[in-house]
Structures are given as C-alpha cells and as structure tokens.
Amino acid sequence: MTFTVRVPNSENPHLRSDAPIASCHASLTAARRALLRQQVIAGRQGYLSEAYIWDEEHDRLVADVQELRG
C-alpha cells in the first residue's frame, strides 16, 4: 500500500487527490508520523497545517486523520 501526505493548495474538497505531495510512505504508520512532523513544523511557524493523508491504492482520504489533529 502507498500513502501520501499532501498539502492542499485549494479549499475545494473535490481537488484533494490533486494536491501537491509532501511525502510518500509504504505504511500508514509512517505516513502518520510524517503528517505529525509536518503539523508540528507548521505550528512552530505559527501556521495551522491543512495537510492530510491520502490512500493512493483506494484513491481516498484516510478517515482517521482528524484524530491526529486533536
């Protein structure tokens, strides 16, 4: 399986699969760690991260990403 961490350049949810890829991972665990790192870095710079994990195999947003933002 392949998971990508993506950072949207549009607020349109229909364009999520077209967002620029920040990193690519073979496991969901690795993608979650990368997303958390991206969120921490953005937070240190004073920004809210809009990044998310995309499941490339099923062409969909990973549903439990919201739990990471908690």
Banded model confidence at residue 65, pLDDT cuts 50, 70, 90: low
Residue with tokens 């607020």: 11
Quick one: pLDDT at residue 31?
Answer: 97
d(CA 55, CA 22): 14
- Residue 70 reports pLDDT greater than 90: no
d(CA 65, CA 4): 12
- Residue 48 reports pLDDT greater than 50: yes
Quick one: pLDDT at residue 68?
Answer: 45
21 pairs with which residues across the strands? 6
The answer to whether residues 55 and 35 touch, using CB atoms and an 8 Å cutoff, is no
